[in-house]
Amino acid sequence: MTADLVLIDTGIWSAFFSKPASPEKRAVDALLDEDRVALTGPILAEVLRGFRRTDEADWVASRLRLAHYLEPNWEDWRSAAALGRQLAAAGHDVPLTDLVIAALARRVQAFVFSSDPHFDLIPGLKRHQKTSLAG
């Protein structure tokens, strides 16, 4: 089941909520229709932080609560640290949030939907629509 899920990164949600004509909006619409949307804590917090009004943030939270929620476990945090060391040794400073998302996605075999170039550096990661969003 989780192999079909797509962890949607914050930047994609930003476009979804603010740009009705964007390709991100169309892609997330399709994933909502297919019930393939997955979330994890750091992304949820980043998305909800973007709403100026509490009532709107609460409404969005009530709906996002119905998506598939993936929780990082102990091994994901260890894997994120190892990945961070590996990338740092190659000269890449990748934020911890991205490392945890990548570690979690790799464990459950979910796709990652993001235009963040940090994810391009991570081996063994399944990407959703990377090519079409790259322009």
Partner 1 sequence: MTVMSVTVNLSSDEVAKIKHFTQLDSENEAVATAAREFLRVIQLRELKAATGKLDYQAVGEDMEALELRERHLNQ
- As beta bridge partners, residue 69 has 39
| Gyration radius of the chain over CA positions | 15
Q: Which stretch binds partner 1 (CB under 8 A): 29-37, 70-78, 86-94, 123-131?
A: 29-37
CB of 45 to partner 1, least distance (A): 12
d(CA 85, CA 89): 6
- As beta bridge partners, residue 68 has 38
Among 2, 4, 18, 109, which residue interacts with partner 1 (rule: CB under 8 A)? 18
| 14 lies in the binding site for partner 1 (CB under 8 A) | yes
Beta-carbon count within 10 A of 3 CB: 9
| 4 lies in the binding site for partner 1 (CB under 8 A) | no
d(CA 131, CA 135): 7
Binding site for partner 1 (CB under 8 A): 10-11, 14-20, 25, 29, 32-33, 35, 37, 46, 49-53, 56, 59-60, 62-64, 66-67, 95, 115-116, 133, 135
